[in-house]
Amino acid sequence: MLQITSSTNLNILLENLLFLVISTSFLGFVGFLWRESKPFSLPQTLPAWFSAWLAVVLVVGLALPLVVMILWGVWWGNRSVLQALIPYFVMLGLQILSERVTLKQFHSCVWVLIPCLYLPYRFWQLYIGLTLVSFDTRLIWVQRLLAVEIVLWIFNYGVHLSQIPRLLRWEVQPQSDG
């Protein structure tokens, strides 16, 4: 069992490193191509629903998994929970860091692409995490949380994609009466 766990940990680590290298290289390349574009900033007026959505994402996508990782993974010592959630938090943190650096340091429109890369990978991470904990019937609540996380981040991806025109300040044509 220890050999399988070590092998699984190594595979997860290599997979995450590969994603990080490929996505960072891609974002760096695209950033280089668009280096002469106007400085990018987020639109100042956020939609009315944004605060509520952000609260849902923070509670369901950050606070709940953190509590689960601390309780089931650390407190009760379940390694598969740690295998599922540590990479999730590491990549979530790296996504936030990438977004912050791209937006605040470089003022680059590449910021819009970061969730387009990281969110689909997050679906994969959560699916792998779900398969890791699915063999233990004592972890039914962890399994349900991971399934909820998959739904949350898929929905969040749709939200992000639906807001790209607004983020890029594409003009809306006035509607004709005819």
Q: Give me the long-range contacts of 59-66 (CB less than 8 A, separation at least 24).
A: 60/148, 60/149, 60/152, 61/92, 61/149, 61/152, 61/153, 61/156, 62/92, 64/145, 65/89, 65/145, 65/149
- For the residues 15-29, what does the mean pLDDT come to? 97
Nearest 10 degrees: CA dihedral of 83, 89, 90, 92? 140
For the cut 80, the answer to whether the pLDDT of residue 4 exceeds it is no
List pLDDT tens digits, range 129-176: 999 999 888 999 999 999 999 999 999 999 999 999 989 888 777 777
Report field, pTM of the whole predicted structure over 0.85: yes
CA distance 103 to 41: 7
Which three-class secondary structure state does DSSP give residue 168? Answer: coil
CB 111 within 8 A of CB 168: no
CA distance 35 to 41: 14
Mean of pLDDT over the chain: 92
Longest dimension (CA), the chain: 71
List pLDDT tens digits, range 31-69: 999 999 999 998 888 889 999 999 999 999 999 999 999
pLDDT band at 1 (very low <50, low <70, confident <90, very high): very low
Two tokens, residue 1? 């069992």
For the cut 60, the answer to whether the pLDDT of residue 3 exceeds it is no
Element counts in the chain: helices (H) and strands (E): 6, 0
